[in-house]
Chain A
Amino acid sequence: MTSGSSTALERRETRLAWRLMVPALGLLALVAAAPLVATGWESLHRHDVRLPWLGRPFVGFANYRQAFHDDRFVTALEHTVVFTAVSVTLELSFGLAFALALDALARGRAVARVVLLLPWALPTVVAALVWRFLFEGQSGIVNATLVWSGLAPREWLAGSFSAWVPIVFGDVWKSTPFVALLLLAGLQGIDASLYEAARLDGAGSWLRFVEITLPLLRPALVVALAFRALDAFRVFDLVYVLTGGGPGAATEVVSLYAFTTLLQDLQFGYASALAMLVFLMSFMLALFCIPRLRVSVAPDR
C-alpha cells in the first residue's frame, strides 16, 4: 500500500500550509532553536572572557564533568529539586482546596476568580518585591505579627533556611491560582449524576471524594503537576529579585547560578554547560510528563 503519491490538490494544500507556517517556524528556528544549539556548542569549549589569552579551545564534556564536581552547582541543584517538590506539593494541595471551595461557591464566583487571577497575572517581579517586603526585617508585617503574638522576630532574608520561606510563599501565592483554575475546570467536568448515584448507594462525602473526585480529577492533576514542576524547576525571576540567591548562595537555584556564572563570572563555556544542563534536565522532566499528559496533539480525523 503506497502512501507516497499525492494528488495535485494535496500538494497544493501542503504548499499553502508551509507558506502559512514559515514565518512562525522560521522565527522559532532562528531565535529559539539556533541559540540552543549555539549554547550547546559553546558548552563544549573552554571560554573564560576574563582570561582571553587562553583562547577558546574545544574541551568536549570537560565543563559538564566540572559541573558535577562543583559543590556550588550540586547545592544549587539540590535547592532546585527540593524547592520544586515543596512548592508543587503545596500548590497542588492549596489548588485542590481552592478548586473544591470554588466549585461549591454559589455566589461571588467572579470575585473569587479576580482575587485568584491577580497574583498569577502580576509580574513575578512584583510578587517577589511584595513578599520580600512582607518579610522585611523592620517594616515587614510578618515580623510585626510575630511580635504582636509574643514570638521573636527574625531577619528572614539573612538566614540560609529562613530566606526560603518568602520564596516558597511567593511561588505558592503566585502559582496556586493556575492550579486551582485548572482543577476547577476538571471538577466541573465531572458528571454530577455520579455523586448522586454514590449518595444513593450510601457513600459519605469523604468516600465520594476519594472514590469519585480524585480518580476523575487525575488528568487535570497530572497536567497541573507537569506544568508546575517544569516551571518550578526553571525558576529565576522570583529568586533573583527576592534574595538574589543569598544570603551567600543559600537560596541559589540552578538557573540563577548559570546566570551568575555567565554575566558576573564571565565564564561563557562553563555557564553554557550549566545552561545546557538546566535544559537537559527540564527536557527529561518534560519527556517524563508527556506520556502521562494525554495531550491531544494528533490531527483529528
Chain B
Amino acid sequence: MAAIVLDRVRKVFSGGQTAVADLDVGIANGERLVLVGPSGSGKSTVLRLIAGLEAPTSGRIFVDAREVTDIPPEQRDLAMVFQSYALYPHKTVRENLAFGLRMHRVARAEIDGRVSATADALGIADLLDRIPAQLSGGQRQRVALGRAIVRQPQAFLFDEPLSNLDPRLRGETRAEVVALHRRLGTTMVYVTHDQEEAMTVGQRIAVLRDGRLEQLATPLELYERPANTFVARFIGSPPMNLLKGRVTRESGTVRIETCGQIITIDAVESQILFEAVRAVGIRPHDVSLTDPQHADLRGRLDVIEPLGHAQIAHVTLDADVRVVVVVRTETPLSVDSRVGLAFARNRLLFFDDAGRRLD
C-alpha cells in the first residue's frame, strides 16, 4: 500500500508531441483514483509513467515516499492490468499467476498457496491448467486481475480494463473491481475514457485533456462544481447545455441575455463577477418543459428520444442553438410543438470567456 505522487511531471515524445504537461497529482495511500479524459489526453501515458514503462522528460515520481523516477519497472513493486490483458500466451493460467512471484524470488510453497487462494477468490481455480487461448474474454480478464492481485503490490494500475469486455459484463465487473478495492485496501489508479465508469469507480477523479490536469476532485464535486466548460460537458450524460450569453446586474436582479431572449433571476447573494460571464450552463436534468408563456426560454421541440426510464428532448431555440432536456416518460410530447424551458435557478453555472467557472 502506498501513496503515489507525481511532481511536475512532463512527458514529451521524440516526435515532439507533449503527452503530459506539468502534472501535479497526489494519490493518497489506499485511495481509488480514476484518470479520465478523451483519447489523446495522456491518461495512459501517465499510468505508464507511474509504472516505469516510460521515463518522464522532467519531473519526479514517488511511490510510498520513495523516488522511483530512475527506477526500472521491475523494481517498483506495482501491478498493472492491461486493456488487452497481456497474458503470457504460452504459459498456463497457473504459470501466468505465478510469474510475478517467481521474479520476486518468493518461496515455491508460498507461490502455490497464493496462486490457489487468488484463483479461488476469482473463481478461476478450475482454469489453472489452461492456456489463455482456451479462455473466454471474461475469464482472461479475471486471470489478468488475478495476476495483479497475487503479487500484493504497493498499488494497482488499471489501464481501461473493461474496454474489451462485452458491455453486459462491464457493469458487473466494475462492481467487482470496486469491491476488490474495498477488501484489499490497496491504492488503485484506474484509467478510463468513459465518464460514467469514472464516476462510479473513482473516489476521486482526475480529468485530463491534452496532457493537462483540468480538475482533480470527488465525483460529486466534478458534477456540481466543474472547474471549466470542458469538465462541465465531459462529466454527466447527457452533457451540460452551454449557452453563450451575457449577464448584467441591476439592483437585486440579474438579467441573463442569451439566444435572443432574456432570463431574469432574483437577487442572488452571490459574489460572482457577473460582468465576466460569457456562457451559462445548465444540466439537462435541471431544465423542465413548461408553458411557453411563462418560460425562461422558448423554442421548438425537434427530436424526442425515448429511453424507457426517461425521454430526452432536443429543443431548438434560435438557429443552431439546441438545448437538451431530460423529461419524465409520462409527459406527453409532440415533435415540432412550441415549448417553453424553465431553468432551476440554483443550478445555473456561469463561465467566463476562458471557460472557467465563476464562483
Contacts and interface: CB of A to CB of B under 8 A. Distances in A.
Interface residues on A, range: under 10
Interface stretch (B11-19, B36-44, B134-142): B11-19
Interface string A6-25: 11111010000000000000
Contacts of B12: 1, 3
A1 B21 CA distance: 13
Interface string B66-91: 00011110000000000000000000
Contacts of B15: 301
A297 to B, nearest CB: 15
Contact of A7 (B13, B14, B16, B70): B70
A9 B72 contact: yes
Nearest to B52: A9
Nearest to B58: A5
Contacts of B56: 7
Contact of B70 (A1, A9, A301): A9
B55 interface: yes
A3 B70 contact: no
Contacts of A9: 52, 55, 69-72
A192 to B, nearest CB: 28
A10 B69 CA distance: 11
Interface residues of B, number: 12
B353 to A, nearest CB: 29
Interface string B13-54: 111100000000000000000000000000000000000100
A12 B12 CA distance: 19
**Residue from A1, A3, A9, A10 whose CB has the most chain B CB atoms within 10 Å:** A9
A6 B58 CA distance: 9
A301 B45 CA distance: 12
Contact of B69 (A6, A7, A12, A301): A7
B72 A3 contact: no
Nearest to A7: B55
Nearest to B14: A301
Contacts of B71: 9
A257 B69 CA distance: 61
B257 to A, nearest CB: 44
B72 A12 contact: yes
B241 to A, nearest CB: 39
B336 to A, nearest CB: 39
Nearest to B71: A9
A19 to B, nearest CB: 16
A10 B16 CA distance: 17
Given A8-B70, A9-B70, A12-B72, A3 B55 contact: no
A46 to B, nearest CB: 49
Nearest to A9: B55
A237 B72 CA distance: 52
B233 to A, nearest CB: 31
A240 B59 CA distance: 65
A301 B70 CA distance: 22
Interface in A58-78: none
A301 B14 CA distance: 9
A12 B71 CA distance: 10
A3 B71 CA distance: 21
Contacts of A6: 55
Contacts of A8: 55, 69-70
Given A9-B52, A9-B55, A10-B55, A3 B69 contact: no
Given A9-B70, A9-B72, A12-B72, A3 B14 contact: yes
Interface in B298-348: none
A10 B12 CA distance: 13
Interface string B103-114: 000000000000
**Residue from B14, B52, B55, B72 whose CB has the most chain A CB atoms within 10 Å:** B55
A301 B13 contact: yes
A7 B56 CA distance: 8
A6 B12 CA distance: 11
Contacts of B14: 3, 301
A9 B12 CA distance: 15
Contacts of A10: 55
A99 B52 CA distance: 48
B190 to A, nearest CB: 24
A301 B16 CA distance: 12
Interface string B54-66: 0110000000000
A8 to B, nearest CB: 4
Interface in A1-59: 1, 3, 6-10, 12
A166 to B, nearest CB: 50
A9 B69 CA distance: 8
Nearest to B56: A7
A8 B71 CA distance: 8
Interface in A123-179: none
A6 B70 CA distance: 11
Nearest to A10: B55
A8 B60 CA distance: 12
A248 to B, nearest CB: 58
Contacts of B69: 7-9
Contacts of A12: 72
Given A8-B69, A9-B70, 8 more contacts: A1-B16, A7-B55, A7-B69, A7-B70, A8-B55, A8-B70, A10-B55, A301-B13
Interface of B: 12-16, 52, 55-56, 69-72
9 contacts: A1-B12, A1-B16, A3-B12, A7-B56, A7-B69, A9-B55, A9-B72, A301-B13, A301-B14
- 10 smallest CB-CB distances across A and B, nearest first, come from A8-B70, A9-B55, A7-B55, A10-B55, A9-B70, A9-B72, A7-B70, A301-B13, A301-B15, A7-B69
